[in-house]
Structure 1
């Protein structure tokens, strides 16, 4: 009777272990693409960097305003009172008071500054392009977090299912061992071994449940909501056929590479701007003013127009220091470009290697499962003939369990590595993944502000409405 019990429990365990590996996906299950879309629409980090890009867009408008006339107005009202005594007043005290008011308009237009203002516009445009690439880099990092969180939850859920099933099986085996002990087929040692293995299995289950809880919290952070049912991930989008192709694509498309290139261009322009600070500046100036004394007919009007030329002679070495500083920053950006290029190439190579390792681990785990299943059946049958001990059966079952868990981990690692390769090539973006979202257009806001519209213009009023809408998000 005891032998039949252990055979029956072992068969239940084997079947349950096989079934537990797969979690069926229902029509309502969330896909990896759904999770990425949710993160794309809800992550605060993306909203923050989109706002930073809009701020960089405004730098272009600020720079362009320097090419236009600057018109200011002034208004002033002054009340003066005077109390005095002099010989002309015969020694008496005289009090006078008057109120004057004045208004004026001024116009200043830069006619020549050695191209500093226009170069400032170009530098601001390069900064905008660099910030756009930085936004794409943030987008890639968020998507990679989503992939990691998604696969962590799926693998942790499957591991928990394995561990729970293992606890159930070991509970049955402990009962069977006790029954066999009662009829004298096994010793107290066999029972103790079953008890120890069950306790270890329960401890592993608690650890697995803790890992799942941690994975769920990370998922809520990365995606924006807690996970429900998660479907198996779809095949990874195609990337590159070889390591060389992947590196070539990365050098052309990776956001960090493009960001640094624009940063180098901006630094080079800023170095030329610093050099141009030595050149003179020529401006057109115009003033119109009216001053009136309240209470009498006294007033004065004035108007002037002129050309003003100015330039530095000596500023204590400040201009030279700024020039050297701009050159040093340009050299730093150029050196950083070489560092970024090498780092991207390394990341591509690492991702390729990780994929190969994950695929090999998955294949090895599948072979290990097949072998462990055969071994488990053999040990179980041999135990019924008395040729194997209870410990042998427990060990064989544990090896099968470990193989199942290894396959889950390897499959998850392979998916994460595949998306890591996409990220290292600069292709882990909403556009390349063709996500079902309304993609953020980084040029839309720039096109509205690049001409530096005033608030009174139609374009300025449209911008106000856009900003109010953004503030409600």
Structure 2
């Protein structure tokens, strides 16, 4: 085949202009997740919170480092001195003089139990924020997965409704023609019209659901979602799951919510030790140097002073009004609260694992059942079409068969999405989710 010169240039320019769009592959789940890692505000907030928490250790260590302070002052004085008795050998009257003073003081803590405990406390607090950051990353994987498949599910619903609408519209036109020819009754016409109107209303609702799903995904990734890779028709289903007890054992050992709450109990123990340190003495090494100069005084004598001091300072608390004992009791109650919170978190986490496990098991069974139901509904639809053509089935029978067939398609697609999301949900609940799991999900998606 040969092309004229103008046609050749048109094809070339068209390929250059459409090339980037034509070659662009649909975004996979992992592609979308990488965008979420860059743009999700929840993950960004957790990251900055973690950086802020890292400073707690340095702040705690500062309590055992030397403190050096410089103070200085300058003064101008005006005095008017009068004596109430006679024969005072010192001069009276108005006197003006100026002066300055400067002091450098250094203090090195030698023993402060509270400061030592605060160093240990800060390390536990930092470990908590590390776990919280990791937990936020895990939750981002689940949120992204859920939002991704919500968009696909909304798109599928619109496509199914469009196909169903087209089929019903054709049947409606046939019903109108048959009614006008006197072959069928007005009942068939009204039934087809009612089904058509219902589909139109469902389309409006589906378009709204799609917009909400797209905005939800955009809130995570920061940009409007592009074309998303769909689930393959030959979806690979896990043949069998490990027993629920095995998943619960993994959850107890790996779930970050449980680990965070366990760390809160350790923090409570540190706070008890900090409160108890109020009964302990403190010992500091202190040194100071003072330099002052005044060109006069009330007695008209000027002074120059240089003074150096070095020593140790011991402070032994004897009675502080009961505040220390009160803080100890408060810290002990807070530990009991942390233990109760741990039990609550443990139960809720186990419940979430059970729900995720049952959800995954249910979706596996549903997929198998709905695949069979789809085949059966297709056979029923084919038989009903044939019966309608030969006059032994009514228009209502055909409408019902179409409805059942499209419902089976919709339910099967939803079960497939639920299956993939449930995999991520179960691994998130058990605390073992990682990016490789999202890449495994990508293997179940179309590449074009």
Scaled to the shorter chain, the TM-score interval is 0.7 to 0.9
Cα deviation for residue 236 of structure 1 reads: 10
Residue of structure 2 equivalent to 1:248 = 249
Cα deviation for residue 429 of structure 1 reads: 3.8
Judge which range, 66-75 or 342-351, deviates more: 342-351
Residue of structure 2 equivalent to 1:74 = 71
Residue of structure 2 equivalent to 1:264 = 265
What's the secondary structure of 2:352's corresponding residue?
Answer: helix
Would you say the 8 A contact 1:133–1:259 is kept in 2?
A: yes
1:41 and 2:6 are equivalent in the alignment: no
Q: Distance in 1 between matches of 2:124 and 2:237?
A: 31
Would you say the 8 A contact 2:424–2:437 is kept in 1?
A: no
Choose from 192, 217, 225 the match for 1:227: 225
Q: Distance in 2 between matches of 1:426 and 1:40?
A: 19
Residue of structure 2 equivalent to 1:195 = 193
- Structure 2 stretches lacking a partner, 5+ long: 1-21, 441-448
1:389 and 2:397 are equivalent in the alignment: no
Q: After superposition, where does 1:34-433 map in structure 2 within 5 Å?
A: 34-85=31-82, 94-113=93-112, 115-232=113-230, 241-293=242-294, 298-430=303-435
Cα deviation for residue 322 of structure 1 reads: 0.1
Q: Distance in 2 between matches of 1:302 and 1:318?
A: 38
Would you say the 8 A contact 1:236–1:419 is kept in 2?
A: no
Cα deviation for residue 383 of structure 1 reads: 0.7
Q: Distance in 2 between matches of 1:342 and 1:50?
A: 28
Task: Figure out how many residues of one structure are paired with residues of the other and give that number.
Answer: 409
Would you say the 8 A contact 1:159–1:408 is kept in 2?
A: no
Q: Distance in 2 between matches of 1:393 and 1:434?
A: 43
Residue of structure 1 equivalent to 2:3 = none
Q: After superposition, where does 1:441-452 map in structure 2 within 5 Å?
A: none
Cα deviation for residue 269 of structure 1 reads: 1.8
Would you say the 8 A contact 1:264–1:334 is kept in 2?
A: yes
Larger Rg: 2
Cα deviation for residue 427 of structure 1 reads: 2.1
Would you say the 8 A contact 2:261–2:342 is kept in 1?
A: yes
Would you say the 8 A contact 1:72–1:106 is kept in 2?
A: yes
Instruction: Provide the aligned C-alpha RMSD in A.
Output: 2.7
Cα deviation for residue 47 of structure 1 reads: 1.6
Cα deviation for residue 341 of structure 1 reads: 2.3
The 1:109–1:315 alpha-carbon spacing in structure 2 relative to 1, beyond 3 Å, is same
Q: Distance in 1 between matches of 2:209 and 2:46?
A: 32
TM-score, normalised with respect to structure 2: 0.85
Residue of structure 1 equivalent to 2:14 = none
Q: Distance in 2 between matches of 1:384 and 1:350?
A: 48
Q: Distance in 1 between matches of 2:66 and 2:194?
A: 86
Q: Distance in 2 between matches of 1:432 and 1:325?
A: 44
Cα deviation for residue 308 of structure 1 reads: 1.1
Q: Distance in 1 between matches of 2:423 and 2:403?
A: 30
Cα deviation for residue 76 of structure 1 reads: 1.3
Map Cα deviations across residues 182-223 of structure 1 (whole Å, 9 max, x no partner): 222111111111111100010111111111111111111122
Would you say the 8 A contact 1:167–1:198 is kept in 2?
A: yes
Map Cα deviations across residues 418-464 of structure 1 (whole Å, 9 max, x no partner): 110010111234477579xxxxxxxxxxxxxxxxxxxxxxxxxxxxx
Would you say the 8 A contact 2:30–2:439 is kept in 1?
A: no
The 1:433–1:415 alpha-carbon spacing in structure 2 relative to 1, beyond 3 Å, is closer
The 1:390–1:236 alpha-carbon spacing in structure 2 relative to 1, beyond 3 Å, is closer
What's the secondary structure of 2:99's corresponding residue?
Answer: strand
Q: Distance in 1 between matches of 2:23 and 2:87?
A: 107
Judge which range, 407-416 or 292-301, deviates more: 292-301
Q: Distance in 1 between matches of 2:295 and 2:179?
A: 118
Residue of structure 2 equivalent to 1:449 = none
TM-score, normalised with respect to structure 1: 0.81
- Structure 1 stretches lacking a partner, 5+ long: 1-24, 436-473
